[in-house]
Structure 1
Amino acid sequence: MGVRDLGLPERLTPDPGLPDRVTIWEVGPRDGLQNESATVPVEVKLEFLDRLASAGLTTLETTSFVHPKWVPQLADAEDLLATLTRRDGVRYPVLVPNARGLDRAVDAGVTDIAVFASATESFARKNLNSTFDDQFAMFDPVVTRARDEGMAVRGYLSMCFGDPWEGAVAPDQVVAAGKRLLDAGCWQLSLGDTIGVATPGQVDRLVDAFAAEGVDVGALAVHFHDTYGQALSNTLAALRRGITTVDSSAGGLGGCPYAESATGNLATEDLVWMLDGLGIAHGADLDALVDTSVWMAGRLGKPSPSRVVAALSG
């Protein structure tokens, strides 16, 4: 049964306190596949990207220029980008960890990149082999040069709500780290609940903390993992505070290679189902997304963790 048969007008309940439109930042091709035990062939990744674009998604985080030793699943970044057919109106950002990664991105003709930092000392050491302060010293020249090359640079901030080594993370600590990325020249800051421990009240407090320091909510995005089943409720809390960019992963794929307790990302289909019910525009075709995630689940040899995918494909 397709979503069009399920009575969307009857469940449509617009809320004047929510945005009219949300940008879905699809991270499945990068964040989703980097945690798979087996390497997905380039031709499958290319079809995945093409299917996601056909489903109406306009931002597809494509791959990463992290050293292949650390993320072998994305070692084919150059080959993927060299054979990718880019569609008009679709952005294909890539993750860049350092100056060498930026060199590779420039050579590949990339126009959108993202850098990633940690809100905690422990995860900076685990994920970047850096101290908390040194990570920013590493990123500043990367962001400056990327902007000089005409690239748009997004900033990711991990462990914004909890850290498996340090416990709960104070909002002022997150704000201080996030402002350093924004001040360096990132146009947007994605707040990551890397291990999926946040609850809506924490989301409210963190947005309040950024606002208190003069950060425009329009510069913020959210990136929730669903370890405790809170990703959708946290997203709704963020939308109520005026955030209009949400990271999600088709089929709920993903995790984090350096945080074993991190499970999959918020599923794009689950997000779209909620947005549709609230009358929030997003541009994606849910049936096409479900078909894509069922197809990818077959290539990976395991079912999608998305509840909406399971419901609409069962």
Structure 2
Amino acid sequence: MNGPKVPFFTPTFQGHTKNILVRKLNYAHVSWLYHDFPLSSRIDPFHFPFPSGVVLSAISLSCTRRADPIESIELAQNSYMKAANGKVISEISTGEKRTYLKLEDIPLFLENLFIVTEDQKFYDHAGVDLSGISRALLINSQNKTIEQGGSTITQQLARNVYLSHDRTYNRKLSELIYAYQIERKKSKPEIMELYLNAIYFSNGAYGIEAASQYYFSKPTGELTKAELAFLAAIPNNPEYYNPLEHFDATKKRQERMLEYESLIKSTIKLDLSTPVDLYPDYVTYVHQELKNLVASSEGLYKSLQSTDVTIRKSAETELEKRSKSF
């Protein structure tokens, strides 16, 4: 829908005024962005306290009304190939190793640990903690870098599901909008469940169950509190707190997160699991047969045999995508 052109606005930046031009933002989106927020948590997009000198340009708000359906957030999970006797012979993932857990199967201790360390106002805000954002913006302005994000658990979920991890203000604005939409459609327990299954624990492990199985070779429900806290230390910075490369740094953060000395002194011993792949040649054959069936049922054979490299590559990409969805 085309609306009137968005004019220049003059937001206030800590005592300074800067002209700011918001492009690709039609009137309908401006109206929704402002008026859909409840008064208690309204954000004025044109008086948002960005550091002096920052210009928002070419912002795409396709993530608002036309966003992916918030009601049906689905996270990719591992698939397993089993023998006739039920034994797993191959573990298949699409690049994200994940086994989904319901919230009731996740220890309350872990949930509370993330609330204390990541988002203490989780049950009070509507997706955005304005005080946290203001604090992060002040620190970023002082350091002239984007070092802190002030993201709530809901914002982190939005980032993991819909966005990249680029440290830009455009991404941050999209994150705020997605978070607000998620809060409108999902309950707090649903958001927490999705969050604990979506976040990255380094080394290809997504979600608490995949992390538990990978680092300790046992299900989440069997972890000690010290082990749960050790895993909870990773998502804050999966590269820096990668236990395989920076074990001591991960352990120190775990200790900062715990308040009981007995847990702090608990020894953490990793017991890494390896992917199940008992019969690789047979599994490869089954994968190829699956691709042949998908290519036949989806009408991709002709494109796969095309002499046009572009068409063939496109068909191969589509075949890989559709095969993984089975």
Structure-2-length-normalised TM-score: 0.21
Q: Which has the larger radius of gyration?
A: 2
Bigger relative CO (Cα 8 Å, ≥ 6 apart): 1
